[in-house]
Amino acid sequence: MFAQFMRDTGRWRDCEPEALLARWSIFVESCIRSYEGDAEDYFNDLTARDGLERALREPILARFPELDDLRRAVLEIDAKFRKILRPDVFLGASGQEWWNRGIVSYAGVRLVEELGQTYGANIDRV
């Protein structure tokens, strides 16, 4: 049911809950170490959290007890990400999507340069 829901929302990979959670976790860990990708990669990787949020808010999935376990795991990863996030940089994003409104506080040279040039967002280079 979860995987079909993800596919129905347009997600074509990492549709199983474990895979999507792993994708979010790997992304956050790479940000903690200093994200080395470019802006396109960064924003693409954030879609894992978007997908998780859609699933966590979906009433049809809420009846499955496994969703509570998924929610707890997501919240643990979120707490790590919030620690390194500079909030409210992209004010056009929904307030409920805090992960899209903010940007990591530091990253590798490619992301730092692209964020500055394209979005005027200044973060520290590691």
Q: What angle do CA 49, 53, 55 make, to 5 degrees?
A: 120
Instruction: Determine the pLDDT at residue 81.
Output: 98
Instruction: Determine the pLDDT at residue 91.
Output: 86
The model's pLDDT over 49-82, given as tens digits with 9 standing for 90+, comes to 999 999 999 999 999 999 999 999 999 999 999 9
- Partners of 20 in beta bridges: none
Are 16 and 3 spatial neighbours (Cβ–Cβ below 8 Å)?
yes
User: Which DSSP symbol is given to 37?
Assistant: S
The model's pLDDT over 4-17, given as tens digits with 9 standing for 90+, comes to 999 999 887 888 99
Instruction: Determine the pLDDT at residue 12.
Output: 79
